[in-house]
Structure 1
Amino acid sequence: MKALRCHQTGEPGEVLSVEEIPDPTVADGQLLVSVLAAPLSFPDLLLCRGQYQFAPPLPMTLGVELCGTVLAVGAGVNRFAVGDRVIGNPAPPDGAFAELAILEDSAAYPAPKALDDAQASALGIAYQTGWFALHRRARLQPGETLLVHAAAGGVGSAAVQLGKAAGATVIGVVGGADKARHCAELGADLVIDRRDADFVKAVKDFTDGRGADVIFDPVGGDAYAGSTKCVAFEGRILVVGFAGGTIPKPGLNHALIKNYSILGLHWGLYLRHDPGAVVECHRHLTTLADAGAITPLVTERLSLADTADGLRRLGDGHTSGRVVCEPTAGSTP
């Protein structure tokens, strides 16, 4: 099979190449799937650069989530059968940017019928992250105001849609006109281009000085610093990631004086501590997808050969929504 391989860590364009490698074989408790689509994500970029929280052995195939068709099942698998369409998370170093991949039975879920392959592949980590952040951690309520940073990105676009589905008023902060257009299409009630406007002032003006009840921050740095200036009384700031490259050092005295909460969200920990909640979350997301309330924003579909450049552009902040690798398809705009 063909796979996008990494023999040493570094920048995607320098260390990734498409290679022919042996087909994987299914073991007990596993699924062998034909990869229909695999979204590009920041974990892929960090794995490629050797900056992730753990270092898989090299060489490795990147791609932390996928949508695929089951080709074979190992002994003990009774949740899926050959021909089923599934989404899931292959375990590094054997990832999803390949024609075939292995999933543990426990890491696979039925693909929602309402979504095409690329959309379904993007429903996993980003929407699970958004759902757990907004509902389990921040307890977002109907009628509250939600501020989403990087609102046209993979995780941010999921948070915008989930916030609207929850009955919140959603403010999206983006960088650039194209991203502002995508954010508006996602349903945000107010879109702020941080390149043209001070988002702190814009949020205060929009909320009559009250501020945002919940702030979803996958960026860190200046985004977090500004969030502390426009969070509402008893508001909640969700720390989801640091795509901006700077990890904030919050002033806890400021949180005390303004009476807001700082909440961390690491979705992967639910897989270890409460896997049943992940299954239940997938049911909720499938229901929302079937109702048309959420649809992952897929802006590009790339071949394996184009995926390294896609990861480079993702790291440079030059993508919107989800860029998806389709291992057996050509590159299309």
Structure 2
Amino acid sequence: MRAAFLIGHGGNEVVAVGERPAPRRSPGEILIRMKAATVNRVDLYMRDSGAGITHTLPQIMGVDGAGVIVEADSAALIGRRVTLYPGIVCGSCEFCKRGEPVLCAKMSLLGEHRDGTMAEFVCVPANNGLFVPDNLDFAQAAALGVNYLTAWRMLFTKAKLQRGETVLVFGVGGGVSLAALQIAKAAGARVLVTSRSVEKLSRLTGLGADATVNAPPDRIPKDVMDLTQGRGVDVVIENIGGSIWNAALKCLVRGGRIVTCGATIGDQPPADLRRIFIRQLQIFGSTLGNPDEFSDLLEWCSDGRLLPPIDTRYPLDQVCTAFSHLESGAQLGKIAIDI
């Protein structure tokens, strides 16, 4: 089968598109004819180094994806459209047993610890294939598995967002941040967003932003306080770290919640502990989500409450062009790979 796979670490020169052995289905698994994947920052990380992630080269790339079941234990599943939950879990550890498989210590992720979704065929446990609503195409369905699932858990499971609250989303040009904007708005929140790109900010009102902030980190809190009449926001969604962290804390109302899922510009910011305990701020770490959260997300999509925007689509042979597009930061929406 044809696939995009890593043959080393470096730049796009280590990404090959060619033939790889097709997976063979075992009992309890489904074989999926892949139709689309989307590009994520972790794909660039795996290409660049993959440091700290146990993997073996050559390895097929891609964390999220969607396609059609072509083999399964049950004939009733054949032909069903599915999107993939990217984590393969043990099912027997304390976290899996208590309904939190996202915390499984033995989880292996598609495209990170094992072959991924940028291939003509993928084989996963049957529970990892979730049925796709008719109103989503394959690229939109694929887009949900990482960015949207991560944002969903951040907002609802961690921050417990309520209708009428105010949310501040940092770096809304990124995939998780854009998903958080859409989900929070659909949940009835007031949503403020930041970005370094004036052009992107100008387009975000159409995706639900109530107000935009384009300022250096030390000025963001003032702008946010002006927008909230000096109160601050109830929830901050943050995945940048570095100098943004203290700015994010200063934007919160007393008792406010901040959820982080990344540290793209630095993972050792000043802690500002006095602000945290005096203002009784709540800090949550989060990544990915559980299959049941994914099911809830898909139900929202089925009801028409949420539709992932696709920025650009590339054929599998042009996966390196897709990676360069993501690196440029020019996208607004998911970059899809049509397989």
TM class, shorter-length? 0.7 to 0.9
Is 1:139 paired with 2:170?
no
Is 1:101 paired with 2:122?
yes
Given candidates 315, 331, 338, the residue that maps to 1:319 is 331
Q: Distance in 2 between matches of 1:128 and 1:18?
A: 28
Is 1:286 paired with 2:298?
yes
Q: Distance in 1 between matches of 2:23 and 2:181?
A: 38
Q: Which residue in 1 is equivalent to 2:256?
A: 235
Percent of aligned positions that are identical: 31
Is 1:49 paired with 2:51?
no
Letter in 1 for 2:49: G
Q: Where does 1:82-97 land on structure 2 (aligned, <5 Å)?
A: 82-88=78-84, 89=86, 91=110, 92-97=113-118
Between 1:36-45 and 1:208-217, the stretch displaced more is 36-45
Q: Distance in 1 between matches of 2:192 and 2:30?
A: 40
Given candidates 206, 216, 221, the residue that maps to 2:227 is 206
Equivalent residues of 2:55, 2:114 under 8 A apart: yes
Q: Which residue in 1 is equivalent to 2:91?
A: none
Report the CA distance between 1:188 and its aligned residue: 1.0
Deviations 1:278-314 (A, max 9, x none): 3332332122112221111210111122222322332
Equivalent residues of 1:301, 1:324 under 8 A apart: yes
Q: Distance in 2 between matches of 1:200 and 1:160?
A: 19
Report the CA distance between 1:80 and its aligned residue: 6.2
Equivalent residues of 1:94, 1:102 under 8 A apart: no
Q: CA RMSD in A?
A: 2.1
Given candidates 165, 175, 178, the residue that maps to 2:199 is 178
Q: Distance in 2 between matches of 1:29 and 1:182?
A: 45
Structure 1: gaps (5+ residues) = 271-277, 328-333
Equivalent residues of 1:37, 1:325 under 8 A apart: yes
Q: Distance in 2 between matches of 1:309 and 1:245?
A: 27
Structure 2: gaps (5+ residues) = 87-108
Q: Distance in 1 between matches of 2:165 and 2:15?
A: 44
Q: Which residue in 2 is equivalent to 1:193?
A: 214
Equivalent residues of 2:7, 2:57 under 8 A apart: yes
Q: Distance in 2 between matches of 1:57 and 1:196?
A: 39
Q: Which residue in 1 is equivalent to 2:244?
A: 223
Query: Residues 80, 55 of structure 1: CA spacing in aligned structure 2 closer, same or farther, 3 A cutoff?
Result: farther
Equivalent residues of 1:153, 1:322 under 8 A apart: no
Equivalent residues of 1:59, 1:93 under 8 A apart: no
Letter in 2 for 1:148: V
Q: Which residue in 1 is equivalent to 2:13?
A: 14
Report the CA distance between 1:79 and its aligned residue: 9.5
Q: Distance in 1 between matches of 2:327 and 2:63?
A: 16
Given candidates 160, 170, 181, the residue that maps to 1:160 is 181
Q: Which residue in 1 is equivalent to 2:37?
A: 38
Q: Distance in 2 between matches of 1:4 and 1:247?
A: 34
Q: Where does 1:250-261 land on structure 2 (aligned, <5 Å)?
A: 250-261=271-282
Equivalent residues of 1:131, 1:159 under 8 A apart: yes
Is 1:302 paired with 2:314?
yes
**TM-score normalised to the size of structure 2?**
0.86
Count of aligned positions:
314
Q: Distance in 2 between matches of 1:322 and 1:133?
A: 19
Report the CA distance between 1:132 and its aligned residue: 1.2
Letter in 2 for 1:6: L
Query: Residues 194, 70 of structure 1: CA spacing in aligned structure 2 closer, same or farther, 3 A cutoff?
Result: farther
Q: Distance in 2 between matches of 1:190 and 1:3?
A: 42
Report the CA distance between 1:195 and its aligned residue: 6.5
